[in-house]
A and B are shown apart, each in its own frame.
Chain A
Amino acid sequence: MLWVDKYRPKSLDKVLVHEDIAQNLKKLVTEQDCPHLLFYGPSGSGKKTLIMALLRQMFGAGAEKVKVENKNWKVDAGSRTIDLELTTLSSTNHVELNPSDAGFQDRYVVQEIIKEMAKNRPIDTKGKKTFKVLVLNEVDKLSREAQHSLRRTMEKYSASCRLILCCDSSSKVTEAVRSRCLNIRVNAPKEDQIVKVLEFIGKKEGLQLPPGFAARIAEKSGRSLRRAILSFETCRVKQYPFTNNQVIPPMDWEEYVCEIAADIMKEQSPKRLFQVRGKLYELLVNCIPPEVILKRLLLELLKKLDSELKHEVCHWAAYYEHRMRLGQKAIFHIEAFVAKFMSIYKGFLIATFG
């Protein structure tokens, strides 16, 4: 097992990073009935870990016995029937699913499947909990219609079912859904928190950490705990007695973005833009989300940029990211950003050096 999984806190008590949230959750579950919950925060901050620990707190160790089911559903949608395939993770007391996998048909998942699940009371009545839990991942990717159909379900079946929603950003979750949940913001852990975790792991593994090494990893991780632990393990595999100036292996795609940024800085012309396009396609093909690419690219470019241009470039990056979310073909928008940057940068070069 990777360290990420090995040292994942199993219960709310053992949580190292978001202790305050964990304590609040524990109180919530033990003292009173649990409301619907909405966890949101950047990836690698520990939302899922918290949710799992919460489930364990609710249902005991049984919550960890899960099985994967790949079910085909037939949904009757007026004139036609729709076949949906959905993977669910379930234990006796909870079901975990990712409704946005159904793509544009997610509405039916919410309307039919989730409703169906929510309606049924848990069979196991031995436990003190009289409700089951539905964990929905990536709620922010749900279409508006799906979210709208979700809100009635949340009210109607609240007696027998609690929903735990999980997403990166709450801005894409409609107001109506948000207001029906207890919103829990899970921040990205601070660097010193990450260092704490890494040191904890190091101690458990019996490793000698040179001073400042954990801090370096934490800094490179971009405040993602998962990434920090992974790169920590990578370092361990690469070279054990750690040295202070040891190379922390970068993410390959980030390296690639770095190359792209260097290309852009070197030459600004339609031809170069065409080459950049090819590389962008490479990244997109390998399932890297376009927003992430754009953000990373901006960061890489900013590193090499004159400070007086930084503000403008940031502005345009935000502008194009917004448009990208409105549109569908991400490549158009990333490319447009690159072109805009090239134009600005070239103008700047001409102005300064003549």
Chain B
Amino acid sequence: MEMETEMDMPMPDELEWLEADLQHHEDYLDEDIEPPLPEEEASYIEEVYEVLQPEPIVKPSLPILEKVQPKKRFRPLSPNLLDLTNADNSVEDKRCKVDDSSAIDADDDWLRYSPPPKDESVVIVEEEEKETFISRYLTDIEGDFMPVTAPDGNRVYAKLVKEEKNEKLKKLNVKAPSKGLMLEPISVLMQRAEEDALQKALQASVSSEIDANLVGTPVVSERLWVDKYSPNSFMELLSDEHTNREVLLWLKQWDSSVFGSELKSTTDDVLSALKRHSTVSQHKKVTSRSSFGWNKDSVYNNNTFKEEKSDSHSIQEHFNKIRESGPPEQKILLLCGAPGLGKTTLAHVAARHCGYRVVEINASDDRSSSSIEDKILDVVQMNSVTGDSRPKCLVIDEIDGALGDGKGAVDVILKMVSSNKKSESGTEAEESGKKKKKKDTSLLRPVICICNDLYAPALRQLRQVAKVHVFVQPTVNRIVSRLKFICNKEGMRTSSIALTALAEYTECDIRSCLNTLQFLNGKKEILNVLDISSQVVGRKDTSKSIFDVWKEVFQKKRLKGVRKSTNISKSTFNEFDSLHSLISNCGNYDLMLDGVHENILHLNYHDPVMKKTVTCLHNLEVFDMFHQYIMRTQKMSLMVYEPAIAISIHNLVSQHEKPNIQWPKSFHRYRTTLIEKVESLHTWHNKITPSISRHISTKSFVEDLVSPLLHILSPPTLKPVALHLLTEREKNEMAQLVKTMVSYAITYRNKKIDPLLPGNKLKNEVAIDTPVLSFDPPIAEFVNFEGYSCNYFILALAVKQVLCHEIENQKILQSSINKSMHENDGKYFAGKETVKEKLIKPMEKVNILKNPSVSKPTPVNTITMVPKPSETTKKRSTAPFNFFEKFKRVSVNGSQLTQTVKKVSVTMERDSRPVLFKYNEGFTNAVKRPVRMHEFFL
């Protein structure tokens, strides 16, 4: 029983161990490199496993030894130990050898260009044996292996395993830089080249098989081609060369501030780097041989890493020499372009190329401003101490989708940029040197933002501060050659014609091309031209701007001459199809058809009897009713039929020439002004005395009332003379008019002259200082149609002013009548008032004495009086805000008015009421409070 368990047990034990060790190593490694370990690890473990598995014969010995050892080590210690040391001695020399060979083996294995030698198993066996020896041996050289302690028990085997691990480490060490930095050591490149050659050779053999029987091609690849063949190096980028360079240059401009003083002289570094490339493989072997101890190895790691780093720096500096130093003026790079052109890829590749570690924030992350700020600050301002010490470069993907909470990202960046500018303006010279020490929120690392729509509202501010690069479509040739390469690699048979068609069809969206190809490959189909045009394959769901949609609706596509003759019906079908998809992608049918309506009459279609126009408008009508129906019944599924209306219009009116398209503003303007006017009508309606307003609806206002009202309110018979010169009849008329105006809540008020309007400008020139009085609810506006002149008699200014005051008086009178009607309620005030009245009376008499001339005013005089009345009207025009204010204001006006009234005309009625104040009884919900009379005379 014991034996059996022991037989099996050590295996997982060992593995666990290895893993633990690896973890341990990883921790150290992390500092230096951050390569994707897991795969490597797994494979390594597997390797070991495999290696261990085939030796059932050897194993028994191993576990037994293992088991026995600890006992021996801790209890009896000496007797057995001697034996083992002997054994060890015998194998001692062997061990060195094996060590060496295994290292090479491992290297080879990793490079994968030669199959592992057959005798490996033997070697491993020996290794295992050694392990045991070493463990025994350990007692002597324990000091050396101190750091290694087994997880379970205190096994000392560790030593050998660790050596193995060290080799592993070396491997990682070599691989990591190649993964992390773009400029790989030449050795790696060469290895890769060889690898490639091997692959090609393999493929050649495979492809011949494929040729033999097509069906036999197994689709093994599980990764998306898009990922599989995404460019890893700068040279592989497909996007426009110029843009690539610009981006790279921009990134390089950061070097001086990011890498700063760490740089050393270029040539030396380059040379040494080049040298090192050539000797790396040797170097490795040497080190592997020499490094028995963990410590040494780690030192090596650090060294190599430093070298690597400086290596990357050297090139950057080289670049720097070309460019002048200092961070770029625009701290943010904004890449925009249609999807699938390779923006994200470019950002990543370029950043890595320049030695940055890319940190990406995209739409899938939490982008609320609070959470993102820390993140960005972390990336942009800090230098990590423990992890990968490469500076970070922030890539914010899909920034235009950042709305609402997501806008935080843009805000944070903008804040940093602006603070940066502030500090820069102060101490620019200092800045470059001391940047890292400063703790303010400025941008210290490059930030690349990526968006699809440059003109998204969220980006408005960002656009101004950022360096903008608009991606253009790469040439079809480049895409096709790349597609071809990939197809060859995947063993897919295509023709370049088909590929070209595909590329054109997807508008050079490489991602969509690849996905399509992979899809077809998965279905084991061959791409041909027909596929693309007939199948819905590789179709992109592109939404174009609304202007593009309108353009498509109004403009006939030029058909290619070849196709035209062969199948017209098909081409029209295609046109329908494409237009339909275009419109449905646009989505906002309502706006779209508004635009159609706005622009349709400007088109130059041949239409002698207006038949086409009628049909088009008919279609628009149908749309309107249709839309209304959908909205009312909420049957959104019917919306699918709406694009068809636009297409029928397209068929009727589309022309070859380019249409001049306007945004449908007239309809929107109509809507907004209508709302405005209705609102003003409503407020007016509410102001009118209820006994009258109940009889009028807002509808009939303009229809029936406004025009006659305008006539009635400005009777030509009213002479611009002082009131007392009027005959009795005229006075009556005047009183009548005032009553009408009061009951309809109409008054005159100073109109603000808007110098912006040309019409007013003219008036302004004529009379720059004379106030223009116009109706207070601007009722004249309602008949002020464009291009229509209404012939109303316009009262003289003086008359208007007189009227204005009379209206005020009338209002006050009415309210006082109201008050007297509610005398009982307002007794408190009434009592006080009478007291004050007596006080006021003499004062006013003095007033009259002072201005005797006023009592006989000539027309000229009334005009000179202009400023004062207008003053009062102005005061009235400022709307009171709360109840108490209103209360005060009105009373102030009242008292003032009584004075001005004196100047115009003194009637008996007013003489008896020198103090008038307005008391709004009952209708407000404000607080009533006792008020002293003198408060009214402030």
Contacts and interface: CB of A to CB of B under 8 A. Distances in A.
A281 B678 CA distance: 15
A295 to B, nearest CB: 11
B704 A224 contact: yes
Given A2-B740, A253-B783, A332-B597, A48 B695 contact: yes
Interface stretch (A108-116, A174-182, A191-199, A286-294): A286-294
B694 interface: yes
B146 interface: no
Contacts of B717: 237, 240
Given A328-B624, A336-B614, A1 B690 contact: no
A285 B681 CA distance: 12
Contacts of B667: 329, 331
A285 B674 contact: yes
Interface string B285-296: 000000000000
B698 interface: yes
Nearest to B603: A270
A286 B780 CA distance: 11
Contacts of A255: 788, 790
Nearest to A340: B614
A68 B603 CA distance: 53
Interface in B623-674: 624-625, 627-629, 631, 666-667, 670, 673-674
B702 interface: yes
B627 A286 contact: no
A43 B697 CA distance: 9
A5 B692 CA distance: 7
B610 A288 contact: no
Contacts of A1: 692, 736, 739-740, 743
Contacts of A237: 711-712, 715-717
Contacts of B677: 285-287
Contacts of A64: 691
Contacts of B702: 253, 286-288
B74 interface: no
Contact of A286 (B617, B716, B782, B790): B782
Given A87-B686, A326-B625, A66 B711 contact: no
A270 B923 CA distance: 56
Given A292-B703, A333-B621, A336-B621, A52 B694 contact: yes
Interface size class of B (residues with CB under 8 A): 35 or more
A256 B610 contact: no
Number of chain A interface residues as a range: 35 or more
A323 interface: yes
B782 A346 contact: no
Chain B's interface: helix, strand, loop or mixed, by majority? helix
Contact of B624 (A251, A292, A333): A333
Interface string B738-772: 01100110000000000000000000000000000
User: Interface on chain A toward B: helix, strand, loop, or mixed SS?
Assistant: helix
A347 interface: yes
B700 interface: yes
B188 interface: no
Contact of A285 (B624, B628, B673, B707): B673
B786 interface: yes
A68 B694 CA distance: 10
B628 A327 contact: yes
A271 interface: yes
B670 A273 contact: no
Given A279-B785, A292-B703, A328-B627, A5 B609 contact: no
Given A283-B785, A286-B702, A2 B712 contact: yes
Interface of A: 1-2, 4-5, 8, 43-44, 48-49, 52, 64, 66-68, 70, 87, 89, 96, 98, 137-138, 224, 226-227, 230-231, 233-234, 237-238, 240, 249-253, 255-256, 259, 268-271, 273-274, 277-279, 281-289, 292, 320, 323, 326-329, 331-333, 335-336, 339-340, 342-343, 346-347, 350
Q: What 8 A-B pairs are tightest by C-beta distance, nearest first?
A: A252-B783, A327-B624, A230-B708, A336-B617, A343-B610, A274-B601, A234-B711, A327-B625
Interface of B: 597, 600-603, 607-611, 613-614, 617-618, 620-621, 624-625, 627-629, 631, 666-667, 670, 673-674, 677-678, 681, 686, 690-695, 697-709, 711-712, 715-717, 736, 739-740, 743-744, 781-783, 785-788, 790, 922-923
15 contacts: A43-B700, A226-B704, A227-B704, A230-B708, A273-B610, A277-B601, A285-B673, A285-B674, A286-B677, A287-B782, A327-B627, A332-B624, A336-B621, A343-B610, A343-B613
Given A5-B691, A89-B694, 12 more contacts: A2-B709, A68-B693, A87-B686, A137-B697, A233-B708, A273-B610, A282-B785, A287-B677, A323-B625, A328-B631, A332-B597, A332-B624
